[in-house]
Amino acid sequence: MRADRLVAALLLMQAKGRVTAAELATELEVSVATARRDLEALSSAGIPVYPQPGRGGGWSLVGGARTDLSGLSSAEAQALFLLVGPAAAVSGEAKAALRKLVRALPATLRAEAEAAAGAIMIDSTRWGERDRDRPEVVGLLQTAVVRRRKVRLTYTNSARERSERLVDPWGLVDKDDLWYLIAGTERGQRTFRVDRIVAAEPTDEPAERPDDFALAAAWDRVVGEVEQRRSRTWATVLIDQRFVPILRDQFGRHCHTNGDADGNRARVRLGAPTALDVARHLAGWGALVEVVEPPSVRTELARIGAELAALYPRG
């Protein structure tokens, strides 16, 4: 039995007092037979769980026995095991919470929970790269978000122009080891790359945050805007069907197939910020890719080819 299901089952019985196998199956998204086996395993392990037969029956904790986990919901408990346990780079606070959760379990099931928490490891560092330390300023900004205090930033934009801004910090996002601060400014919501923050000074001024602000929704809008800017130029290419998956890996969400084909070749739409960006991505493919349109991408490819031919003439 998985430790995350164990915790969820115990919490559900604490909350409801009595639970049927069908109710547990619905809660944990497993079959009724699996839920029944989980309940029987709890009882066999020495947890004071017992069944009540007949109409209105179910499973209960003897005397309302508790496991000191009432501060967590089922989803939160499962998230701790499934997300905190495997991650190699989570915060010390999160790891401490997981240890407390494990210690709160009955002794007969603690070993299994510890094994589940340590069964998977995620190493997000690519081969050949060093581990990236979390910027120190992230902790300061996180505190400001939680305490709802304005922060004075010294910030350098993409044009390397430095400015000072007083912002209302709303949330932090870690995307592929790059941190972003979403904040309110006098010009509305703005997104700041944390690695471009030269200095950050917390203030005692209360920060304002919209009542309906949701970090996930705000970040989705940011991602949509960025991806739209990254795909201003679209090219139609022909390529052998077997190479389409490689193009998808190369261009990500900016690679679309429409089902049309020219013999064994697929017709694919590729997006990038400029015609030069598309050409640079395709230059290494040589004659394996044929650009149908636009002419601007074909022109850039011809120019790149001419430059390479001049630099590396045949001997």
Hey, how many other C-beta atoms are within 10 angstroms of the C-beta on 156?
14
Taking the C-alpha atoms of residue 139 and residue 93, their distance in angstroms, rounded to an integer, is: 12
Whether 25 and 35 have beta carbons less than 8 Å apart is answered as yes
Distance in angstroms (rounded) separating the CA atoms of residues 4 and 136? 33
Please provide residue 174's backbone torsions phi and psi, each rounded to the nearest 5 degrees.
Answer: -105, 110
Residues 6 or more apart whose Cβ sits within 8 Å of residue 263: none
> Looking at residues 179-208, what average pLDDT do you find?
93
* Weakest mean pLDDT among 54-58, 119-123, 137-141, 224-228: 119-123
Helix or strand holding residue 206 (H, E): strand 197-206
Torsion of Cα atoms, 173 then 175 then 180 then 183, to 10°: -40
Q: Determine the pLDDT at residue 237.
A: 94
Q: Where are the domains of the chain?
A: 3-117, 136-221, 233-311
This model's pTM is above 0.75: no
Instruction: Answer for the pair 69, 33: CB distance below 8 angstroms, yes or no.
Output: no
Cα separation, 172 vs 26, whole angstroms: 34
233-311 folds as Alpha-Beta Plaits (3.30.70)
Q: Could you give the 3-state DSSP secondary structure of residue 140? A: helix
CATH number, domain 136-221: 2.30.30.100
Q: Right CATH number for 3-117 from 2.60.40.420, 3.40.50.10470, 3.20.20.150, 1.10.10.10?
A: 1.10.10.10
CA distance 3 to 82: 10
Proportion of the chain above pLDDT 70, given as a percent: 68
Distance CA 252, CA 124 (A): 19
Highest mean pLDDT (candidates 63-72, 261-270, 306-315): 306-315
Rounded Cα gap, residues 297 and 280, in angstroms: 9
Model confidence at 292, pLDDT cuts 50, 70, 90, reads very high
Burial class of residue 308 in the structure, from the number of CB atoms within 10 Å of its CB (0-12 exposed, 13-18 middle, 19+ buried): exposed
